[in-house]
A and B are shown apart, each in its own frame.
Chain A
Amino acid sequence: MDPEGAVSGGRRRLLAALVIASVLTGLFPAANLFAQGAAARQIAPTLLRPASATKAPNADGFLQRWLILDPIRLNGQLTDSAVQMAVKAEYFPNQFTALPRDGDALTVADTALTWRSVETVNYNVNLYHFAYAHKRPTSNVLFWVVTVVNAPHDMPDVRLAIGSNAASVWWVNGQEVIGIYNDRQTVIDDGVSKRLTLKKGANVIRGAIVNGGGATDFCARILAGDDRPIRDITVGLSVPERAPASPAQ
């Protein structure tokens, strides 16, 4: 997080210029994908629109495909109690159980918000890029993110491992499993759940990331009992009952 607080308008313009210049010069991997005419459509320097129904984790096991709700404004306090209160407030119906679709719209505090599917080209999902690309606030906000992990068989004794900027709370199949608080940067495997079981089939992973100001992002993967990342899973954005999966990418 930027310790000086929210990024000023001038700095935003500067950042935008840098981002555009970086894309044009091929600094970001996404720019290369874009230049090569990949099927995925770029929506931000590090974010694409998914071009297939499912995707395997990357080589290090990171889950790269997510549904993200446009950020919800809040006060951006990051203590344990403030974050717990923020994420437990009801913003929309069935917020802990609903599995949205790309493009689903809702209204929170008179603000129209949209669920958007993204695929990051990196290990992490840059929420600043996401919000900036959609002309949404990046500071003092709450992001809801959801993904679906499909396990080929029951996987006991695994752990969800995340990193986030800043605080975040996470659920697996409705069970709260991680809470990390205070002003912090995204560090791989910063917050790790206790041992849990991924059941055969679809498992819904849901996160709520609270940002105070400045950069904001997260990363997530599943660790086996020996702490090695699990890759024999696929990541989709829907459960099979709602939308049968297409062949894996």
Chain B
Amino acid sequence: MNCWLAVVVAVLLAAPLVALDGDPAMHDPSTIVLHNGTFYAIGTGTGLPISMSEDGWTWRRAGTLMQGLPGGRPGQAVLARGGNNTWAPDVIRSGDKYFVYYSAPGTQPKAAIGLLVGTTLDPRAPDFTWEDRGPVVWSDGVEDSNAIDPGVFRDPTNGSLWLTYGSYFGYIRLVELNPKTGQRLYPDRKPVNVAINSEASIVIARDGWYYLLVTHGSCCAGANSSYNIRMGRSRRITGPFVDNIGIDMLQGGGKLLVGSGGRHIGPGHFGLLDLGDGVQKFSMHFEADLDRGGISVLDIRPLLWRDGWPVAAENFTEGTYQIESARTGTALEVAVQGVPVGGIRGRGGRGGGGRGGGRGEPVPATPIPSQDAAQVSANWPTDAIDVRMSPYMLQAQQKWTVAPVANAGGYPGSAYFKITIAGTDRTLTATADRELTVLPAFTGAPEQLWRIDQLTDATYRLIPKATPGVQAPLALSAVGSSMPTLTTFDPNTDRQRWILKAP
């Protein structure tokens, strides 16, 4: 089974997904920013409400951006070009400042995108003040543009800064920004049209491609919203952005990234959250979270890559898995003597094994039941047991139940997990000597809480919340064919990449 099939199987077996913890209520979230160890997102609403989270899992409201703006509302120049609403912002760091672009629509399609500049996103900070630098782009109410929904992008190849904007009426447009001021670099140039029939646009880049992500469908109608995120790609920032079947986004093209699913309806407003070391996630909001009464909520999901396109993955979900090293192909197991599934038998298909299964003999019809720990664990040590890796043979000591732990914190998109031998409370635990053991019981200690991030190639990285006596995060790593250990994550090797498959 390859990585992708394993992912599909895992998803099929998944418990219902939960979108973040705490208060994730939000509409039109900005790109999530990590600032001084805290995650921030800004959304639509009066004064541009801020949500923050120390771990990326549990979110809370934290005032509004315009608390820090003299007058508490858009400046006169913005109001004159657009209106008094404050919607759908986006944020980027440039030098020592943050540029916040926000929608200030009047009677659409008359609208403007304003710029606020500040040094901190933390409303509690003494320097939480914002400067109004006026409108950046606008639409006059007649032209083929509705200047809302800004998305800002820094080109990693040259540091240039770009803004896309627009919403259904007319075109999604692109302008270049001045990285020092945040305003347009060439205000006299005509904006470049890059897409139609969409909104919430933003550009990302990878491996020489630029990807324009937009939201199609209708918003703001709860469970009746058909929002979905689509994309095209181009070798040039200015387009043409073409989808996977060759249709230009200027003609309505767009490959689906993510639509409704599970208990969540209407994803929109893509934002890239690159955590480094090969871990990418993306933020969005769902128009309706059925588990929260149908309100609009922020969510964070893994972002994978396949055949030159982004792929939206699901956050890891509870289930029983084999944990296979991508480096060695051997599976994590508690170091006890394995028992063949079905008990010790003869050689079966090559001519032994008693009745049936031999050359020319009828195959016995009685299925062999799967093996669980209760069948074979009577002689397992009752205290700590080492961990090792072996060829996966469907045995009980190789099956791990991975389950989220409530009220133990988390990381962007997910709660921490505990990892136990299926059917037991024997728990995978990081040790002070940077190795692993399986303890008889789960205690909730940080060394038993696991962060499971899906990497962009669909494999997983497993990191304990803490390794005793070690400050830096260490990842589950294969060393040799049959030994797991804990080491610093290296994105350039397979040592710390794992494939979690349904057993």
Expressed in whole angstroms, the minimum distance between the Cβ of B220 and any Cβ of chain A is 53
Q: How distant is the Cα of A21 from the Cα of B230 in the complex, in angstroms?
A: 68
Chain B positions 256 through 282: 1 when the CB is less than 8 Å from some CB of chain A, otherwise 0: 000000000000000000000000000
A189's closest neighbor in chain B, by CB? B480
Whether B481 contacts A227 by the Cβ 8 Å rule is: no
A159 interface neighbour in B433, B479, B481, B482, Cβ under 8 Å: B479
Chain B positions 460 through 503: 1 when the CB is less than 8 Å from some CB of chain A, otherwise 0: 00000000000000000001111101010000000100000000
Expressed in whole angstroms, the minimum distance between the Cβ of B375 and any Cβ of chain A is 17
Contacts of A75 in B (CB 8 A): none
Expressed in whole angstroms, the minimum distance between the Cβ of B491 and any Cβ of chain A is 15
Whether B479 contacts A227 by the Cβ 8 Å rule is: yes
The answer, yes or no, to whether B157 is at the interface (CB within 8 Å) is no
Query: Which among A26-34, A47-55, A103-111, A191-199 touches the partner chain?
Result: A191-199
Main secondary structure of the interface of B (DSSP, over half): loop
State which residues 428-442 of B face A: CB under 8 Å.
Answer: 433-435
The answer, yes or no, to whether B337 is at the interface (CB within 8 Å) is yes
Expressed in whole angstroms, the minimum distance between the Cβ of A79 and any Cβ of chain B is 6
Chain B positions 311 through 345: 1 when the CB is less than 8 Å from some CB of chain A, otherwise 0: 00000000000000000000000001100000000
Whether A190 contacts B434 by the Cβ 8 Å rule is: no
Chain A positions 136 through 161: 1 when the CB is less than 8 Å from some CB of chain B, otherwise 0: 00000000000000000000000101
Whether A192 contacts B480 by the Cβ 8 Å rule is: yes
State which residues 152-183 of A face B: CB under 8 Å.
Answer: 159, 161, 180-181
The answer, yes or no, to whether A187 is at the interface (CB within 8 Å) is yes
Whether B479 contacts A180 by the Cβ 8 Å rule is: no
Chain B positions 177 through 211: 1 when the CB is less than 8 Å from some CB of chain A, otherwise 0: 00000000000000000000000000000000000
A225's closest neighbor in chain B, by CB? B487
With most chain A CB atoms within 10 A of its CB, the pick from B337, B433, B434, B480 is B480
Expressed in whole angstroms, the minimum distance between the Cβ of B21 and any Cβ of chain A is 36
Q: How distant is the Cα of A112 from the Cα of B434 in the complex, in angstroms?
A: 45
Whether B434 contacts A195 by the Cβ 8 Å rule is: yes
Chain B positions 338 through 378: 1 when the CB is less than 8 Å from some CB of chain A, otherwise 0: 00000000000000000000000000000000000000000
Contacts of B483 in A (CB 8 A): 159, 191-194
Contacts of A79 in B (CB 8 A): 337
Contacts of B482 in A (CB 8 A): 180, 190-192
B347's closest neighbor in chain A, by CB? A3
Q: How distant is the Cα of A225 from the Cα of B336 in the complex, in angstroms?
A: 27
Q: How distant is the Cα of A223 from the Cα of B480 in the complex, in angstroms?
A: 10
Whether B480 contacts A195 by the Cβ 8 Å rule is: no
Q: Given A80-B337, A81-B337, A227-B495: A195 and B481 within 8 A (CB)? A: no
Q: How distant is the Cα of A49 from the Cα of B272 in the complex, in angstroms?
A: 63
Q: How distant is the Cα of A23 from the Cα of B481 in the complex, in angstroms?
A: 33
A194 interface neighbour in B336, B481, B485, B495, Cβ under 8 Å: B485
Q: How distant is the Cα of A161 from the Cα of B482 in the complex, in angstroms?
A: 10
Expressed in whole angstroms, the minimum distance between the Cβ of A97 and any Cβ of chain B is 24
With most chain B CB atoms within 10 A of its CB, the pick from A159, A161, A190 is A190
B477's closest neighbor in chain A, by CB? A227
A191 interface neighbour in B336, B480, B487, B495, Cβ under 8 Å: B480
Q: Given A81-B337, A227-B495: A190 and B435 within 8 A (CB)? A: no
Contacts of B485 in A (CB 8 A): 194-195
Q: How distant is the Cα of A221 from the Cα of B58 in the complex, in angstroms?
A: 47
A196's closest neighbor in chain B, by CB? B433
Chain A positions 205 through 242: 1 when the CB is less than 8 Å from some CB of chain B, otherwise 0: 00000000000000000010101000000000000000
Expressed in whole angstroms, the minimum distance between the Cβ of B43 and any Cβ of chain A is 44
Q: How distant is the Cα of A81 from the Cα of B487 in the complex, in angstroms?
A: 30
Q: Which 8 A/B pairs are nearest by Cβ-Cβ distance? A: A192-B480, A189-B480, A192-B483, A80-B337, A190-B481, A192-B479, A194-B435, A161-B480
B residues with a Cβ closer than 8 A to A are 336-337, 433-435, 479-483, 485, 487, 495
| 9 further contact pairs, Cβ within 8 A, besides A190-B480, A225-B487, A227-B479 | A79-B337, A189-B480, A189-B481, A190-B482, A191-B482, A193-B483, A195-B434, A195-B435, A223-B479
